[in-house]
Structure 1
Amino acid sequence: MTSLAVGSASTAFAAQSTYVNERFGTVCTFPDDVFTDRQPEPENGDGQVWLSADSASLTCSGIFNVDDDTPKGFIAGERASNEPGYEVTYSKAGKDWAVLSGVKDGKIFYERRLFGRDGVIRTVWIDYPPALKSKYDPLVGVIGGGLKGP
């Protein structure tokens, strides 16, 4: 079961929603006037997806870190990927987080992962058409920076 609570206005966006995933404790805050179309929750309860009217998507999820992955290891693996249509153009890692950006299947993507001490990796993924770069680039850092866990 998941919950969705509407928060107060912030300086980052006029109206925001805060999603809390009950299975993993992943918390994402995002502009609810942009990501308006909430998709059905997956059966495993690992997260939630929202779509925008202009073909962007936002995913907030969690997974168990069964491979004991690290931020630097995650980035190295993604940079080495040979997946067609996937290219990482930016990456940065900290002690317990990693950020990637690039292109996947013709869309710009931004991904932030938090590597929790509780053995859970919490993720926010945003993708959008390149023509909307000026609209979404300012949002991704704010949304990614709002990713939290317990």
Structure 2
Amino acid sequence: MKRFFSGLVSAALIAASSAAAAPFTYTNARFGTVCTFPDEIFTDRQPEPDNGDGQQWLSADGASLICSGIFNVSEDTPKTFVAEEKASKEAGYEITYSKTGKNWAVLSGLKDGKIFYERRLFGKEGVIHTIWIDYPSAVKAKYDPLVGAIAGSLKAR
């Protein structure tokens, strides 16, 4: 009986830890931008801006995640967006990777001493849905494997 009870407690702890590790899905009410990420890492939810365009979360080790939407007032396409970003002369901003598709663009590189990854979906009704993740290079091994799944979760509702 003792062995059965011990096994039952172990199973309950595993189930509880699995539930705690369940990903969190955020949906922006204004633009319908949706992203999913591990909220046991991005634990510090910042106040939503007054305009309601998105949300930011911080982690204890210096990483940041932003999920937001904007109106495409410049009528950018994935290719024009990437071209403009590559032409930027902003100090501390370097693009090391970019790729575009029919309705999406991805950028990665360095900004202000942190590694960043940005994915944009050029949606219907003139809205661009964005996920931005940045993190210190010291925690690269932790975040590099997460970036693809988080960025891949970006969608429009």
TM-score, scaled relative to structure 1: 0.91
How far does residue 14 in structure 1 lie from its aligned partner after superposition?
Answer: 3.5
Does residue 45 in structure 1 map to residue 52 in structure 2? yes
Percentage of matched positions with identical amino acids:
74
Look up the match of 2:121: 114
Counterparts of 1:28 and 1:42 in 2: how far apart (Å)?
A: 18
Question: Structure 1 stretches (4+) deviating beyond 6 angstroms?
Answer: none
How far does residue 132 in structure 1 lie from its aligned partner after superposition?
Answer: 0.7
Say how many residue pairs are matched.
140
Look up the match of 1:131: 138
Look up the match of 2:35: 28
Counterparts of 2:148 and 2:139 in 1: how far apart (Å)?
A: 15
Q: Which of residues 96, 117, 124 is equivalent to 1:89?
A: 96
Q: Give the letter aligned to residue 127 of structure 2.
A: V
More strand by share: 1
> Is the partner of 1:15 in helix, strand or coil?
coil
Does residue 66 in structure 1 map to residue 38 in structure 2? no
Look up the match of 1:3: none
Q: Deviations over 1:42-98 (max 9, x none)?
A: 000000000000000000000000111000000000011000000000000000000
Q: Which of residues 80, 83, 87 is equivalent to 1:76?
A: 83
Larger Rg: 2
Counterparts of 2:83 and 2:127 in 1: how far apart (Å)?
A: 19
> Is the partner of 1:135 in helix, strand or coil?
helix
Look up the match of 2:108: 101
How far does residue 117 in structure 1 lie from its aligned partner after superposition?
Answer: 1.9
